[in-house]
Each structure stands twice: as structure tokens, then as C-alpha cells.
Amino acid sequence: MRVLLAEDEITIAVTLGDALSEAGHETRIAANTDSALELLDSFQPDALITDIRMPGKGGMAVLARAIELDPERPVIVTTGFGSIDQAVEAMRLGARNYIQKPFRNESIVAMLSTFAQVKTLSAANAVLREELRTHGAFQGIVGSSSSMRAVFDRIRTVAPSDVTVLIEGESGTGKELVARALHNASARADGPFVALSCAALPESLLEAELFGHAKGAFTDARKERRGRFEFADGGTFFLDDIDDMPLSVQVKMLRVLQERTVERLGEDKTRHVDIRVVAATKEPLAELVRSGEFREDLYYRINVVPIQLPPLRSREGDIPLLLEHFIARHGKGRRFGVSASTLATLTRHPWPGNVRELENAAQRAIALAGENTELALGDLVPLDSRWRGATEVSTEVRPLREVLREHESAHIVRALGACGGHRSQTADMLGISRKVLWEKMRDLGLNAPGSASG
């Protein structure tokens, strides 16, 4: 950054100026108030460091003028005669930091490094806000509803920090997109983004995949291997479907979150990992804590900043925007229209599979459109009983097994909807175990709230 150092003590001015230049900042030094005020106009520094007791009007005048010209400009005030009143007044005028002499030059350099990162992120956020305003999208996440704007605001707020984030939402709402947006809007954007779904691997493989293993740690461990945490070093680790993480693995997750260290299976060596952890769950973890399926201590470690993704049925105003987005993505340059009556029908559908289901519907309709330039409702809607009108009567006689399967599927979907997608509650309502419910949903190919990863 361009830094103006207003300091009349020659020793401090030279040594601190050299330290700032070595850190890569373009630095100008002013030995009195008049010179500092002149450089504010001509040099237009990104940051100001000023002593309070300066020859002339004093450092407070320099501070006030700097903030008047640019309210966002970071200012560090220094003094050898500190007082609470001075500190309060400096902060009131807009100073970011107040530091008493003698100080370590490294402290000032570290403060400026933080200011530089914030400046870079602020510029990136301005671009993203313009993207949202003009295109109804934010980092690839489409939506202009108030609930999605709140999500975008939360992403922008927490992305610059390394705080752990828990993304909650039904299956298909776009939790990995949010995790990637957090990564891309952070200072770790140039680092790796590593994702792993806890539901995708059996317990016996999940631990080795997360932490890695030494050679000979188990039967098939023919050579040592880094785990996903190590691959994410310097970047972001996205842990999807954490509600499916076995209790045995949850214990080891605590150490990663507390100390940012991991131990490979079969090793005693502790390895440090510089990672930002983002987790996602399709079921409320608080309920799993109460049922004993999730550790309470891990829950509080993960749920530092929550982001709640709304289901598509609660943001029906975004459906036309999303449909246009998916047509552009999958239409291979072709332009398709959708009638007003079709859009009205689509906005009334509950979309149990959320945004993922809508994208699949768009892909299917485009594939079946042939030479037509308008997507038909019959191609957009899935061919099952959930889309049929309540008064529609079919005279077709089908195999009993197929009818029973369809009714079982519809009944589970209704139960899931009544329970807000919570599998534990749904299982209790249906009088079956959570495991049996999961198996039935898998066998029926259901993509209902809380039923699949993502």
C-alpha cells in the first residue's frame, strides 16, 4: 500500500520507514503537520501512521483531514504521552488503532498487512455486489429473494475471517456452492479447496481418507498417504454431510478444530495444518445431539457461525431466475421460452429436491424439446404422483407392486415435508428406525428434504 508516516522523531521515522519499505509498502515521511497535510492531497496514501505530538497543528489535525478525505482510510495513531482521553478522541475521529511508544516496528507492519487484506477483499466484494445487482447471482449462486440476499450478506461478512462455518439446509439447496463462495471471497482463495462427504464413505475408510495413514497402518496400506486435511493446508476444507459422521471419527475431529493438528493412522507424529473448516449438514445437529448421535462438544466447535439455506419452496420468486440460469447453462447456445402458465405451475410445486431437482427438470426438458423453442410443462415436470392434480383419475391398471411402491414413496415424502425434512422426526412419525428410513429412501430413489447428500 501507499503509506504516509507523519513522525518528527528522526530515529523512529527512519527505522519504521525502512521496515515499511522492506514489507513492500511505498512509504513517504512527513516531519511536521504542514508536510503531512500536503502529502495527504498529493500522495493520496492508502494508510496513515501519525504521531499525536507533531510540530504545527498536531497529529489530530492530520487524522481529521485524512478521514475527511477518505472515511475508509485506516489510520494508526502513535504517541509517547498516552492518555485515555487522547485514545478516545483519536478513535472518535476515526483512527483504527492507537499505540503507545515505544513500540515494535513489526506490530505496525502486521497492522498494515491486515489493512491490505481487508482493502483487497473490500474491492472484491464491491465487484460481487455489482454482480448480484445486475445478474441476480453471487459467486455462481443464483437468487434475488430476501432470504438469499441475507445468505449473500452473511457470506460477505464472515468470508474474510478463518472462523468455522456450519451450513444448514435440505438436500439440493446448494451447500457446496456456499462453501466455495466462502473460500473464493476469502484471503485463502489462491489456496486449495478440498471437499469430502461423510456420507460417501464407510466408517472404515472415512478416517483414513480424512487423516491419512502410514505405510502398514492396515492391510492395504502399502505406502504412506496424506489425508484430506493435509491436502487442504493453506486453503479451505469443506466437510459435507457431517451429520453422517460416525461418533468414533467425531472424537478426532475435535483436535483438528481445537489445535489444527492431525495424526495419520499408524503414526505418533503430529502435523500442523493451516485450514479453514466449513461443514454442512442436511439435518439439524442440535436434534442429533439430543438423540446422542452427535457429540455436543463437537457441535459447539462447528456451529460458530451458522448459515441457513432456505428450501426452494420458500423462495418461489427465484424459480424463473434459476430456470433461466439452467437453460443458459445446459441449452448449448439455444434459446428456449417458458410460458407464463408453466412458470406459474412450477412456482406452486414444493420441489422436495430443491434447486438440484429444478436443474434436473431443466436438463430433461431441453433434451426432450427437439426442434421446439418453448419448453413444455410435461417435459419439465417429473412423471410421478407428486405432480398430478388432486382430481386427476387414471384408468390405467398397473402392477400392484408398482402402485404400492409409488404410494410408499409419496407417503414418505409427505412425512418428510411435515417434519421439515428431519429424518429422525420422520422415522418416529412413521414408526421405523432412522436407518430403515434411510434404506427405504435409497431404494425408492427419493431425493426429498434431508434424504440425500448436498
- Residue extents of the structural domains in the chain: 2-115, 136-308, 312-382, 400-444
pLDDT > 70 in the chain, percent: 85
In this prediction, residue 97 carries a pLDDT of 86
- Note whether 309 and 173 are within 8 A (CB): yes
Taking only the tens place, the pLDDT of each residue in 82-95 is 666 777 788 888 88
Taking only the tens place, the pLDDT of each residue in 379-436 is 887 544 344 443 233 444 556 666 677 667 777 877 776 676 778 878 877 888 887 8
Those residues whose C-beta lies under 8 Å from the C-beta of residue 48, and which sit 6 or more positions away, are: 3, 4, 6, 40, 62, 63, 66, 73, 74, 75, 76
276-286 CB burial, b ≥16 within 10 A, e <16: bbbbbbbbbbe
- Note whether 434 and 292 are within 8 A (CB): no
Query: Residue 194 pLDDT more than 60?
Result: yes
Cell numbers representing residue 274 in the block: 493451516
Of residues 404 and 286, more confidently modeled = 286
Tell me the mean pLDDT in the region 243-250.
Answer: 92
Query: Residue 132 pLDDT more than 50?
Result: no
Those residues whose C-beta lies under 8 Å from the C-beta of residue 24, and which sit 6 or more positions away, are: none
H/E segment holding residue 57 = none
Q: Is 192 left (phi over 0), alpha (psi -120 to 50) or beta?
A: beta
Query: Residue 294 pLDDT more than 80?
Result: yes
Give residue 300's Cα distance to chain centre. 18
H/E segment holding residue 137 = strand 137-138
In this prediction, residue 377 carries a pLDDT of 82
Query: Residue 449 pLDDT more than 60?
Result: no
Give the CATH number of domain 136-308.
3.40.50.300
Report the alpha-carbon distance of residue 367 to residue 379 in Å, rounded.
9
Average pLDDT, the chain: 84
Same fold, 312-382 and 400-444: no
Report the alpha-carbon distance of residue 232 to residue 242 in Å, rounded.
17
In this prediction, residue 391 carries a pLDDT of 29
Least confident of 9-13, 44-48, 293-297, 334-338: 334-338
Least confident of 4-18, 128-142, 350-364: 128-142
- Note whether 322 and 143 are within 8 A (CB): yes
In this prediction, residue 219 carries a pLDDT of 67
CATH 1.10.10 is the classification of domain 400-444: yes
Architecture in CATH of 2-115: 3-Layer(aba) Sandwich (3.40)
Taking only the tens place, the pLDDT of each residue in 200-239 is 888 878 988 999 888 776 667 778 888 899 999 999 999 9
Report the alpha-carbon distance of residue 298 to residue 198 in Å, rounded.
15
- Note whether 166 and 306 are within 8 A (CB): yes
Give the CATH number of domain 312-382.
1.10.8.60
